[in-house]
A and B are shown apart, each in its own frame.
Chain A
């Protein structure tokens, strides 16, 4: 396991620099309500990014995340009407839906020997279709207050942020301190060598895809609670934002290098840019351009630092 968090110093510097520039341009940026705002807005992408970090570390990819968010959100919402079930039912069934789909991804990759890109691309369209079937093509609304509260705040702190913190911490500990975590790195580093040294590669990969699906399920439930509906169209393109956060954070697309700390920094960077551009009221067309340039620039800076 190569140093994972130290790798992201350049990125942290870029993040601080951008934040400072923003706070000069717009003093409201550096206020507690706005920073909480940023944290609230990165939660969904952050949760997804933490999950997909596992898959990317094994050298795979998961394109089905956005569709899984929609499917688990819709499934949870259909069980979350007022006085229908205890809160645990929609939450658990939603998360389980994501986990099952992730496990299917894992099985298709490991036992079907289908390339992760294709396997998860298939799941992307299947899960989107299922979300439309379950919801009848319409947003599932009229959700209980108990459920929608999960998307709000408690004691001034956004619940989605606490969920992200919990999941990130768990993922960090597993990668750092458990043998399972080291296996994830070993497989991404050199799959043949990992197999030769007796690691059950298929089982570890199955775990990575299932964990990734589980985080998509969590993100789907949290998103449905936040927007108070299960939306069959939700999450289009979320997989790319999540993968972007992971790669910006220094995890290699070919696997074996990276970690959760970098992923969180990557998600923060994207969130700060989105928030800052809205605060500065940059017009939509330019937002897209500026966002792309800042992201590539920040990663460039990071990689230059690592060379020296």
Chain B
């Protein structure tokens, strides 16, 4: 046992030494990336676009998956600092709990870019989108289709998460402008398609034909609601709108089943984050805040995605 530990240590030390030698020789830029959760489709898309951009620019990415844990995320940033990376891209797990990661990187003199969502601590730069805007676009579409009159159901993500809070705030802001647009019920389905389907089945039982529209805070839940409505033969009477523009939702739009979704541009977010990180590591000027706009996707525009 002791011998294996010694061997491992030797291996680790040799590994580090080699890496440092290579570093001082050719000086390729290395960027440490800590992602929220690689089992989420949107984060997978972010990751792919970052990898493509890094290849274009000839920089090296070290990608770690925090698997939703802010604590793990802070540890990953600590190890990036120990590896003397040139910049860090943080895809924060939590507004508060991921903040120490930002503070530590900046204290170590390593520029840090927050990607997709925010932390309480101010980073060197932020690249992402405004979640309120996504909900605003979705609700405005619903209001337009219903001429400002009707009954709406709101399906929320995991309560208390930044995306859920902001998307709800965006939805409420629009609802405030249309007093004739009434919320029949509001409930969480935890971003999950199966839970959304059960919730929608229950809502159909209690509200039936009075439902005019469903706003789901992500496409997975919108697809669940859609399936439940289709099986109850009510889809013709109810608008369903989601957020994220995942592949399945876009297909459903093209097939004329889903009514609308809101496209969050993973490709542009990931690529811009890498560009910004590279600029910062070269001490070139970079925008402090880059907001990538959301876009409403309807049946007509779905073929462009």
Residue A152 CB within 8 A of the other chain? yes
- Given contacts A136-B44, A138-B41, A284-B159, whether A234 and B251 have CB atoms under 8 Å apart is no
B197 partner residues in chain A, CB cutoff 8 A: 226-227
- In the bound complex, residues from chain B placing their C-beta under 8 Å from that of A138 are 41, 44, 247
B201 adjacent to A226 (CB under 8 Å): no
Tell whether, in the assembled complex, residue B231 and residue A141 are in contact, meaning their CB atoms are under 8 Å apart.
Answer: no
Q: Is the CB of B185 within 8 A of A281?
A: yes
Interface status of B136 (Cβ within 8 A of chain A): no
Which listed segment binds B: A7-15, A26-34, A92-100, A172-180?
Answer: A26-34
Number of A interface residues, CB 8 Å?
Answer: 36
Which of B44, B194, B203 is the one whose CB lies under 8 Å from A234?
B194
User: Is A189 located at the chain interface by the 8 A CB criterion?
Assistant: no
Interface residues of A in 257-305 (CB under 8 A from B): 274-275, 278-279, 281, 283-285
Assess the A137–B201 pair: CB atoms within 8 A.
no
Which residues of B from 163 to 215 have beta carbons under 8 Å from A? 185-188, 192-194, 197-199, 201-203, 205-206
Contact string against A for B residues 104-140, beta-carbon threshold 8 Å, 1 for contact and 0 otherwise = 0000000000000000000000000000000000000
- Which secondary structure characterizes the binding site on chain B? helix
A229 touches B193 (CB 8 A): yes
List A contacts of B96 (CB < 8 A): none
Tally of chain B residues near chain A (CB < 8 A): 31
Interface readout for B58-83 with A: 1 if CB under 8 Å, 0 if not?
A: 00000000000000000000000000
Contacts of B198 in A (CB 8 A): 41, 274, 278
Residue with the highest number of chain B CB atoms closer than 10 Å, among A28, A274, A278: A278
Given A138-B44, A153-B231, A228-B227, the answer on whether A41 and B201 have CB atoms closer than 8 Å is yes
Residues of A within 8 A of B187 (CB): 278, 281, 283-284
A142/B194 contact (C-beta < 8 A), A137-B41, A278-B203, A278-B206 known: no
The interface residues of chain B lying within 8 Å CB-to-CB of A141 are: 247-248, 251
- Chain A 133-151, CB-CB to B under 8 Å as 1, else 0, gives 0001111011000000000
Q: Are B41 and A26 in contact (CB under 8 A)?
A: no
Q: Within 8 Å CB of A227, what residues of B?
A: 193-194, 197, 223-224, 227
Q: Which residues of A contact B224 (CB under 8 A)?
A: 227
Cα A26 to Cα B188 with chains together (Å): 21
The residues of B that contact A279 with a CB separation of less than 8 Å are 202, 205-206
Which residues of B are found within 8 Å of A228, using beta-carbon distances? 223, 227
**Cβ of B38 under 8 Å from chain A:** yes
A233 within 8 A of B: yes
A211 to chain B minimum Cβ distance, whole angstroms, is: 24
CA of A279 to CA of B224, assembled, Å? 18
A12-42 with Cβ < 8 A to chain B: 26, 28, 31, 33-34, 37, 40-41
A181 at the interface (CB under 8 A from B): no
- Is B39 touching A232 in the complex (CB atoms < 8 A)? yes
- Cβ of A231 < 8 Å from any Cβ of B? yes
- Tell me the bound Cα distance from A270 to B177 in angstroms: 39
Bound CA span A132–B44, Å: 11
A interface residues (Cβ-Cβ under 8 A, vs B): 26, 28, 31, 33-34, 37, 40-41, 44, 128, 132, 136-139, 141-142, 152-153, 223, 226-229, 231-234, 274-275, 278-279, 281, 283-285
Q: A-B pairs with the 9 shortest C-beta distances?
A: A278-B202, A141-B248, A284-B188, A137-B44, A34-B205, A279-B206, A227-B193, A281-B185, A138-B41
A-B residue pairs in contact (CB < 8 Å), sample of 28? A26-B206, A28-B205, A37-B202, A41-B198, A128-B39, A132-B39, A138-B41, A138-B44, A139-B246, A141-B247, A142-B248, A152-B231, A226-B194, A227-B193, A227-B197, A227-B224, A228-B223, A228-B227, A229-B223, A231-B194, A232-B39, A233-B192, A234-B194, A274-B198, A274-B202, A275-B202, A278-B199, A285-B159
